[in-house]
Amino acid sequence: MPTADPSPDLPSRYAAVHERAMRDPEGFWLDAARAIDWTTEPTRAFKPKSGPYGRWFPDGALNACWNAVDRHVAGGRAEQVAIRYDSPATGTKRAITYADLLREVSALAAVLADLGVGRGDRVILYMPMVPEALFGMLACARIGAVHSVVFGGFAANELSVRIEDAAPKVVLAASCGIEPSRVVAYKPLLDAALATARHKPAACLILQRPQALASLVEGRDRDWAEAVAAAEGRKPDCVPMAATDPLYVLYTSGTTGKPKGVVRDTGGYLVALSWSMSNLYGVQPGETYFCASDIGWVVGHSYIVYAPLLHGCTTVLYEGKPVGTPDPGAFWRVVAETGTVCLFTAPTALRAIKKEDSKGSHVAGHDLSRFRTLFLAGERADPASVAWAERVLDRPVVDHWWQTETGWPIAGNPVGLGLLPVKHGSTCVPMPGYDVQVLDEGGKPVPAGTMGTIAIRLPLPPGCLPTLWGSDTRMRTSYLETFPGWYDTSDAGVIDADGYITVLGRTDDIINVAGHRLSTGGMEAVLSSHPDVAECAVIGIRDALKGEAPCGFVVLKAQVARDPAEIERELVAKVRDEIGPVAAFKLALTVQRLPKTRSGKILRATMKRIADHEPWTMPATIDDAGVLDEIGESLKARGIGEG
């Protein structure tokens, strides 16, 4: 396999590598699979007539925890630091070696086994950015359980629907999470979720944090520290899992209001992650990798937990913010202190740092001599911010693109194969295994430079979702039926004559708020449940910091005589309570009517163009042309849009 060579002065090996993966996927991915320890070596890479579009390494067996932990202890990395925990939120730092990690994971796996958790059982984690969260994920993998992490910022009802869908045997939770200005009690949210969920887990294991101790429910809740201490020294065996067995389920927003449980298989995922660490990110075993995300998102799963540990790296677990903990130099401090060679964060974080430190003065004073590359993903990286980072860091800045569903990057600039020329605004080229095309509405590829729907020719490469939890049918209808033979990314964009991909935005009603994919349909459901609201529409409008921010338009019922401003405040609070602060919903506008086509479809795309200061034309199908002027005036009154 190619080795990492981040030097931009050498010619890239990308073209040859990608061509081989397209020409001989069987051989390419079987070769890549040799980087993984298997209990049963796969003899074939792909089985096409299995599942919605096929399955990877169908006759292979392995264990993810063994590959991420045990084999490194056995192979000489026992005393190497596996996890560097840095928590400016609590003033805590901790270095956890691979040997420490094995002891912690083994004891927790024994606790889970004693609670009746076994192969195929589900375990939900509702945890902040603490080492125990990683121990929990790996402990599940060790005994063959399927973990499902729910982001700690989600409200009780969002947690409840995930509990109902996953039907976990056990829930792992912390008593609280810590924000720069407040402590967020998790346990009351968990209790409320369990009170409304029809499925009741057998037990909850609660990590008590001193910032907010939780009350335990007798007979159901157990103290994490006490349970693990009692299991100290026990070491359950790693359970061999079929490569096609699920490693985890990660829920993403669905347009129907019901979240979609993205399934991640075990074998294909580990192979793809392993390939990406050296070839895309240009990182070698033993080096330090810092992904400034959250384990509640796919980025955290892949590049805080599994990929760095799988690759024998030191991974940084950061419980803090890019600014405010304590200043906009927080990331550079961590990079310097840990010897990070590669930092992966969201454009939102970069914009926040740039806003607070436009001259880059907080970079000075930190030893970044080992730091080589900054990677960005989560939403589109604006060229101005990328250019700013290139200037103040004097390092390559790589914008790359992927989705919860794919589990690893679809496109990027492959540092490990040799950097390609940078085009600001583009996420560069497809990774091996991804045949990416832009299609028109009829499913035909369009000429270079023409905008359309970005699609990936089937089969998807290893690491991508094989299906949705409990529903092959929903997998097909959500992703595979729009363009038969293709996976529909639901992203719009263009591919230029050099094969560079530029992602322009979503084609459906999923908006991207600071890297968090959120359903406008879900927010509309919350708004419409208010007793004074007759109808509503939510759009994502351009936001300089977060990429997009939701804006709700509501039409009040005819008999309502209350102050609209008061209702708007209630609606903002309602979305925060029912979806969570992660939605960043701060703007609700009462309007007399919504623009619609004659068939009753709300013209959300046109509303968005008005709000984003983009040119727009009067749709021919609009029922009442004057309503768009009214929408524009409402936005203008709040300082948004062109009026």
CA distance readout (Å), 345 to 51, 290, 373, 416: 34, 9, 11, 18
Among 52-61, 484-493, 617-626, the minimum mean pLDDT is found in: 617-626
pLDDT of residue 7: 45
The Cα 2–Cα 10 span in angstroms is 14
Residue 539 pairs in a beta bridge with 551
Contacts of 162 (CB under 8 A, 6+ apart): 124, 148, 150, 251, 259
Output the pLDDT for position 630.
82
pLDDT band at 8 (very low <50, low <70, confident <90, very high): very low
Strands 170-174 and 176-179, sheet pairing: unpaired
User: With contact defined as beta carbons under 8 Å apart, do 124 and 172 qualify?
Assistant: yes
Q: Is residue 478 part of a domain?
A: no
Please, what is the average pLDDT of the chain?
91
Q: How far apart are CA 304 and CA 292, in angstroms?
A: 8
Max avg pLDDT among 94-98, 422-426, 607-611: 94-98
Provide the sign of the torsion angle of the four alpha carbons 307, 310, 314, 315, taken in this order. Answer: positive
What's the Cα-to-Cα distance from 126 to each of 39, 48, 136, rounded to whole Å? 31, 36, 10
Backbone angle region of 120, left / alpha / beta, with phi > 0 → left and psi within -120 to 50 → alpha: left
**Is 30:462 a contact under the CB 8 Å cutoff?**
no
Q: Is residue 541 part of a domain?
A: yes
Q: Which residue do the tokens 């490990």 mark?
A: 416
Let me know if residue 574 belongs to a domain: yes
Torsion of CA 300, 304, 306, 309, to 10 degrees: 180
Three-class DSSP category at 374: strand
Task: Please give the average per-residue pLDDT across 12-35, as a whole number.
Answer: 97
> Is residue 439's pLDDT more than 60?
yes
Whether residue 643 has pLDDT greater than 50 = no
What is the band of 289 on the pLDDT scale with cuts at 50, 70, 90?
very high
Within 60-155, where are the H helices?
Answer: 64-65, 71-72, 98-114, 131-143
Per residue in 454-480, pLDDT (tens digit) is 999 999 999 999 999 999 999 999 999
Query: What is the average pLDDT across 165-184?
Result: 94
Rounded Cα distance between 282 and 5, Å, is 6
Nearest to 427 by CA among 497, 469, 376: 376
At residue 630, what are phi and psi to the nearest 5 degrees? -65, -40
Contact between 333 and 327 under an 8 Å Cβ cutoff? The reply is: no
Number of domains in the chain: 1
Stated length of the chain: 643
Which two tokens mark 131? 């080492």
CA 124, 169, 136, 406 torsion-angle sign: negative
Q: Which two tokens stand for residue 368?
A: 């970044």
CA-closest candidate to residue 492, choices 502, 480, 481: 502
pLDDT tens sequence across 198-245: 999 999 999 999 999 999 999 999 999 999 999 999 999 999 999 999
- 74-86 residue pLDDT tens: 999 999 999 999 9
Which segment of 378-392, 410-424, 588-602 scores lowest on mean pLDDT?
588-602
Separation between Cα atoms, residue 536 and residue 594, nearest integer Å = 8
**Structural domain span for residue 569:** 530-637
In a domain, 568, yes or no: yes
Q: Is 395 exposed, middle or buried (0-12, 13-18, 19+ CB in 10 A)?
A: middle
pLDDT at 5 over 60: no
**Residue 488, domain member (yes or no):** no
Closest CA to 14 of 411, 383, 321, 341: 411
Tens digit of each residue's pLDDT (9 = 90 or more) over 90-130: 999 999 999 999 999 999 999 999 999 999 999 999 999 99
Residue 230: other Cβ atoms inside 10 A: 13
Q: To which residue do tokens 């880059």 refer?
A: 360
How high is the pLDDT of residue 598? Answer: 54
In a domain, 19, yes or no: no
For 567-606, write each residue's pLDDT tens digit: 999 999 999 898 888 888 989 999 988 887 654 567 888 8
Confidence band for 390, pLDDT divided at 50, 70 and 90:
very high
For residue 132, being part of any structural domain is answered with no
- Residue 593 sits in a domain of what CATH number? 3.30.300.30
pLDDT higher than 60, residue 254: no
Other Cβ atoms within 10 Å of 72 Cβ, number: 25
Phi, psi of 524 (to 5 degrees): -60, -35
Q: Is residue 551 part of a domain?
A: yes
Evaluated on CA atoms 451, 404, 198, 194, the torsion sign reads: negative
Q: Taking the model in full, what pTM does it have?
A: 0.84
Residue 223: both structure tokens together: 């103290």
Token pair 């974080």 is found at 349
Sheet strands (E) in 432-484 = 436-439, 452-457
> How buried is residue 92: exposed, middle or buried, by Cβ count under 10 Å (0-12/13-18/19+)?
exposed
- Name the strand (E) or helix (H) holding 16: helix 14-23
DSSP of 148-176 = EE--TTS-HHHHHHHHHHH--SEEEEESE
